[in-house]
């Protein structure tokens, strides 16, 4: 969309109308709450030609109003929190649903100087209006301060801001609902992953956190949306373990050939559990669960896929999972030093692992090394060429 920045700093009626059309179009297709609030604040700043625009939303659980969006010098993307039952302007507007217009902010006892005191911004005039949904429920507050021409906010300004608030209310409510659903989905994924990993690992949460971070770093060469999906899907790669019996999964020693075949079936079970998923993150998790034991040279399982026939998501999680498994203590092995595990990953390039993913791992290794720097480990395995700590370790 076009952004209007007239040389004289003022917008014509036509430009304001164009901005209003742009405003409606942009907010109607944005579901990410932070991004949506940023768009709204930018557009309001332009249309009203003000020094600062801040959007406060209710946090009912904490009985507060919060803002992560504040256009204007000194407050960019700073979180601000004020009590909902406070005596300041923002709190009053949120409680009463009334508009408050302060021509001289510092002369009004309802104005709080707290924000100004921690920034280099001084509020002269201020306009605050309620942000409501379609049913009239107050979701938060729009606040603007200091018109560029140094005049007080008038009825026209109030009308424009109320109109923008009406347009924005539904979009914000939808974005909040979308965010809540997204958070709930990720929490469900994480708890399912913990269930799968908990039986055979003492440090389940650390393992899931580590592979998520490494997978995300490895996927940064992709677009941001895909890298986020890979990060969020990675904890479910071993979900098929829930179908394995304890005498197989928890056996401290070497597995028999028959037992190892049963161990390998967790990839099949994982695929069945996630098969037919409609969400993008679960579709990626399905690929990871099915193919995270396939190898670049075709010697892996369950299908013996080779090279780029293995989904890239599985090729990424394989490196992350093996590295973390090598670095972790298990009942059947000691933990490896991170540099030894790193050497193993490099040595398996073109064999177990995709050379391109290994090359990416080389680039991110300084960050990975820092991640593991504070992890307490036992003595490393004497040889980095030993069988890695995946399911194969019990059959070696």
The second-level CATH assignment, the architecture, of 199-395 is Orthogonal Bundle (1.10)
Question: Would you say the CATH fold of 199-395 matches that of 13-177?
Answer: no
pLDDT category at 48 given cuts 50, 70, 90 is confident
Quote the pLDDT of residue 202: 58
Q: Which of the two residues, 367 and 47, has the higher pLDDT score?
A: 367
Q: Which two tokens stand for residue 133?
A: 């949904």
List Cβ<8 Å contacts ≥24 apart for 84-93. Answer: 84/58, 86/112, 88/112, 89/126, 89/128, 89/143, 90/56, 90/65, 90/128, 90/141, 90/143, 91/65, 93/128, 93/129, 93/130, 93/141
Segments making up each domain of the chain, as ranges: 13-177, 199-395
Residue in 295, 314, 290 with CA at minimum distance from that of residue 306: 295
Q: Does pTM surpass 0.85?
A: no
Neighbours of 351 (CB within 10 A): 11
pLDDT category at 343 given cuts 50, 70, 90 is very high
Q: What is the CA radius of gyration of the chain?
A: 28
pLDDT at 145 over 80: yes
The rounded distance, in Å, linking the Cα atoms of 392 and 337 is 20
Residue 173 burial (CB < 10 Å; 0-12/13-18/19+)?
Answer: middle
Q: Which of the two residues, 143 and 383, has the higher pLDDT score?
A: 143
Q: Which of the two residues, 278 and 291, has the higher pLDDT score?
A: 291
Q: Which of the two residues, 298 and 20, has the higher pLDDT score?
A: 298
Task: Report residue 101: phi and psi, to 5°.
Answer: -120, 115
pLDDT category at 393 given cuts 50, 70, 90 is very low
The rounded distance, in Å, linking the Cα atoms of 244 and 266 is 7
Fold designation for 13-177:
Beta-Lactamase (3.30.450)
């Amino acid at each position: 969309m076009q952004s209007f920045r007239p040389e004289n700093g003022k917008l014509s009626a036509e430009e304001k109308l164009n901005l209003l059309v742009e405003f409606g179009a942009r907010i109607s297709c944005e579901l990410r709450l932070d991004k949506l609030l940023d768009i709204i604040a930018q557009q309001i700043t332009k249309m009203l030609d003000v020094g600062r625009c801040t959007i406060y939303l209710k946090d009912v659980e904490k009985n507060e109003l919060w803002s992560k969006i504040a256009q204007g010098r000194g407050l960019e993307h700073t979180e601000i929190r004020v009590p909902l039952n406070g005596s300041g302007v923002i709190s009053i507007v949120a409680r009463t649903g009334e508009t408050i217009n302060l021509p001289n902010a510092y002369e009004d006892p309802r104005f709080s100087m707290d924000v100004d005191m921690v920034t280099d911004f001084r509020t002269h005039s201020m306009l605050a209006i309620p942000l409501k949904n379609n049913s009239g429920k107050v979701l938060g507050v729009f606040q603007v301060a200091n018109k560029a021409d140094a005049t007080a906010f008038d009825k026209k300004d109030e009308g424009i801001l109320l109109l923008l608030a009406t347009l924005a209310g539904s979009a914000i409510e939808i974005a909040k609902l979308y965010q809540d659903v997204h958070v709930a989905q990720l929490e469900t994924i994480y708890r399912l992953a913990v269930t799968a990993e908990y039986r055979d690992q003492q440090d389940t949460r650390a393992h899931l956190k580590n592979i998520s971070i490494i997978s995300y770093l490895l996927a940064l060469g992709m677009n941001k949306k895909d890298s986020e999906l890979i990060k969020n899907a990675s904890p479910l790669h071993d979900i098929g373990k829930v179908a394995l019996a304890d005498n197989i999964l928890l056996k401290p020693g070497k597995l028999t050939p028959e037992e190892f075949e049963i161990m390998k079936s967790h990839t099949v079970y994982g695929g069945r559990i996630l098969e037919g998923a409609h969400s993008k993150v679960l579709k990626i998790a399905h690929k990871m669960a099915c193919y995270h034991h396939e190898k670049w040279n075709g010697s892996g399982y369950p299908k013996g896929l080779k090279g780029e026939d293995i989904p890239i998501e599985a090729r990424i999680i394989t490196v992350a999972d093996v590295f973390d498994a090598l670095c972790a203590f298990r009942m059947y092995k000691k933990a490896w030093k991170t540099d030894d595990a790193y050497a193993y990953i490099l040595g398996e390039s073109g064999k177990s692992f995709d050379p391109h993913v290994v090359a990416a791992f080389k680039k991110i290794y300084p960050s990975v090394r820092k991640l593991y720097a504070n992890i307490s480990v036992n003595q490393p395995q004497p040889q980095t060429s030993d069988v890695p700590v995946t399911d194969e370790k019990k059959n070696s």
